[in-house]
């Protein structure tokens, strides 16, 4: 439970707190008698003092972000004010990894009623941890104002005929660019609209060629940083109309095979590697300064394939003005997609008070609370109506984009977005090491693309078949 915005400690029991309130009420009673306060008013006050919650839910929160945890505690206090019959007990992961603590709570038979933080949602579903929220959502759809949620955020966990969570935070992916460097090279900045099919891979590559600079054989300025890491590597096939998995895998969440070696994927990775090793317009991956950091330092014109955290996750301005553009598509005819990262609030299938848990989740995903979230938000809330202050802040630190342009960029990334595979593919935790080790030689220029992808298909499909 929350008292004054603090988590209840093990030594504080609601009964002892109530006893303290009773002593306070006795003092008020003595004062009221000597001051001739009407007994009816006295009884009313006493009744309010004696009131205490009759229902209880546990909420599991991450403790790694102190600002977020403090804000969540304040929102829980506000929830309890609105729902005095519901006692919220907070559990945090202090001292352990978030998933490890959650797993241990389930193993001990004491799972929380509600938790968030994203994570391996389809794994949670496979383990039977999640309550299907679809009946509750359909019952309360008018109250929820579903149209107010960004499209990719709302679609993220409406899969397999179920609703696995309620979206709270949702952020897309973009190509970030150094506006000052592009201007110095005589280039127009990329389009803002995701519907502009003229923003192709070749147009991006041409811009990179005009910004690269060498001093002798040493690159001192690159046109683009080609980022590769783990699940982010799927971004390149999605720019070329490809994918690592067949379509049905995203419906069931349980892939039985992979499609790494499909032609679109081969073309995507070859195009990315050519920028690095053939054309030498991308930041040298052997440089001690990594590709993302080189962009943040102002040494690179564009940042491709990276998540949003390095740019949107900053509170201060960079040394250069920057913008966010759609990721480039292979050709003007390519069906484009980009990665979206959505964190939901989820309800345990083992909850003993479904309605109380649902009231809490509705509150935490309400317009009121999401607008408050923008005070401390690193990434945008999942509701359109709540992003006004957020986009103003991003516009300010960008030094280049207007709030309206930021909104267009954000809205487009949602319309063209697909949820990150670690959230919607239940086997990701198993196959991630195989993906990372399998891609490493290719990204180092030591193994051909076709061979790499064929070997990944063989290795990972074999692992998936064992999980059936």
Instruction: Provide the pLDDT for residue 334.
Output: 97
Tell me how many helices (H) and strands (E) the chain has.
22, 15
For residue 1 the two structure tokens come to 């439970």
Contacts of 179 (CB under 8 A, 6+ apart): 189, 320, 321, 322, 323, 399, 400
Least Cα distance to 6 among 82, 61, 64, 83 occurs for 61
Instruction: Provide the pLDDT for residue 281.
Output: 98
Least Cα distance to 327 among 220, 436, 418, 213 occurs for 418
CA distance 264 to 275: 17
Instruction: Provide the pLDDT for residue 316.
Output: 81
CA distance 208 to 328: 13
Q: How many C-alpha atoms does 60 have within 13 Å on its Cβ side? A: 27
DSSP 304: E
* Strand boundaries in 131-197, DSSP class E: 158-159, 162-163, 166-171, 175-178
CA 226 to chain CA centroid, Å, is 22
294 to 36, 173, 208, 225, 321: CA distances (angstroms): 75, 19, 14, 8, 15
DSSP 339: E
Spans of all domains in the chain: 175-341+391-467
CA distance 447 to 380: 39
- The SS3 of residue 322 is strand
Q: Cβ(122)–Cβ(157) under 8 Å?
A: no
CA distance 146 to 382: 11
Ordered DSSP codes for 11-58: T--HHHHHHHHHHHHHHHHHHHHHTT--HHHHHHHHHHHH---SEEEE
Rg (C-alpha) for the chain, rounded Å, is 26
What size, in residues, is the chain?
Answer: 468
Q: What is the pTM of this model?
A: 0.87
CA distance 59 to 298: 42
Per-residue pLDDT of the chain (468 residues; tens, 9 = 90+): 333 333 433 333 333 333 333 333 333 333 333 334 343 343 344 444 445 778 999 999 999 989 999 999 999 999 999 999 999 999 999 889 999 999 999 999 999 999 998 888 999 999 999 999 999 999 999 999 999 999 999 999 998 899 999 999 999 999 999 999 999 999 999 999 999 999 999 999 999 999 999 999 899 999 999 999 999 999 999 999 999 999 999 999 999 999 999 999 999 999 999 999 999 999 998 899 999 999 999 999 999 999 998 898 777 889 999 999 999 999 999 999 999 999 999 999 999 999 999 999 999 999 999 999 998 998 999 999 999 999 999 999 999 999 999 999 999 999 999 999 999 999 999 999 999 999 999 999 999 999 999 999 999 999 999 987
- The SS3 of residue 200 is strand
Instruction: Provide the pLDDT for residue 51.
Output: 57
Instruction: Provide the pLDDT for residue 77.
Output: 97
CA distance 254 to 427: 7
Instruction: Provide the pLDDT for residue 373.
Output: 96
Asked: is 175-341+391-467 a CATH 3.40.50.1820 domain? The reply is: no
| Torsion region of 222: left, alpha or beta (phi above 0 gives left; psi -120 to 50 gives alpha) | beta
Q: Cβ(306)–Cβ(227) under 8 Å?
A: yes
Instruction: Provide the pLDDT for residue 119.
Output: 86
């Amino acid at each position: 439970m929350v008292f004054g915005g603090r988590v209840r400690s093990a030594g504080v029991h609601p009964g002892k707190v109530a006893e303290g309130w009773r002593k306070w009420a006795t003092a008020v009673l003595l004062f009221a008698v000597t001051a001739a306060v009407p007994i009816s008013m006295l009884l009313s006050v006493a009744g309010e003092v004696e009131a205490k919650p009759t229902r209880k839910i546990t909420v599991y929160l991450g403790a790694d972000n102190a600002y977020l945890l403090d804000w969540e505690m304040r929102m829980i206090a506000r929830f309890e004010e609105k729902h005095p019959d519901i006692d919220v007990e907070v559990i945090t992961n202090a001292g352990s990894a978030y998933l490890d603590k959650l797993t241990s709570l389930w193993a001990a038979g004491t799972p929380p009623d509600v938790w968030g933080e994203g994570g391996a949602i389809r794994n949670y579903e496979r383990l039977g941890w999640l309550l299907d929220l679809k009946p509750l959502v359909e019952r309360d759809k008018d109250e929820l104002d579903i149209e107010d949620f960004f499209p990719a955020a709302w679609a993220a966990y409406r899969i397999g005929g179920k609703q696995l969570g309620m979206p709270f935070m949702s952020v897309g992916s973009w190509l970030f660019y150094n506006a000052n460097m592009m201007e110095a090279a005589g280039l127009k900045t990329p389009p803002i609209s995701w519907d502009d099919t003229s923003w192709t891979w070749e147009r991006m590559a041409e811009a990179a060629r005009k910004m690269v600079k060498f001093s002798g054989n040493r690159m001192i300025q690159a046109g683009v940083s080609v980022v590769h890491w783990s699940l982010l590597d799927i971004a390149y096939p999605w720019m070329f109309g490809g994918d690592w998995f067949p379509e049905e895998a995203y419906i069931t969440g349980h892939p039985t095979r992979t499609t790494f070696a499909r032609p679109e994927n081969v073309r995507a990775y070859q195009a990315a590697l050519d920028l690095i090793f053939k054309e030498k317009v991308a930041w040298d991956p052997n440089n001690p300064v990594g590709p993302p950091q080189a962009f943040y330092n102002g040494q690179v014109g564009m940042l491709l394939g990276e998540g949003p955290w390095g740019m949107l996750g900053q509170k201060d301005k960079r040394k250069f003005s920057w913008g966010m553009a759609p990721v480039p598509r292979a050709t003007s005819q390519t069906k484009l997609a980009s990665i979206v990262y959505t964190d939901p609030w989820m309800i345990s299938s083992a909850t003993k008070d479904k309605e109380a848990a649902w009231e809490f989740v509705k509150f935490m995903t309400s317009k009121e609370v999401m607008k408050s979230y923008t005070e401390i938000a690193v990434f945008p809330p999942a509701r359109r109506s709540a992003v006004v202050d957020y986009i103003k802040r991003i516009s300010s630190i960008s030094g280049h984009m207007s709030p309206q342009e930021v909104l267009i960029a954000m809205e487009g990334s949602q319309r063209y977005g697909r949820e990150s595979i670690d959230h919607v593919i239940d086997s990701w935790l198993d196959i991630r090491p195989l993906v990372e080790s399998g891609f490493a030689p290719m990204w180092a220029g030591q193994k051909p693309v076709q061979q790499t992808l064929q070997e990944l298909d063989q290795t990972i499909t074999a692992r998936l078949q064992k999980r059936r």
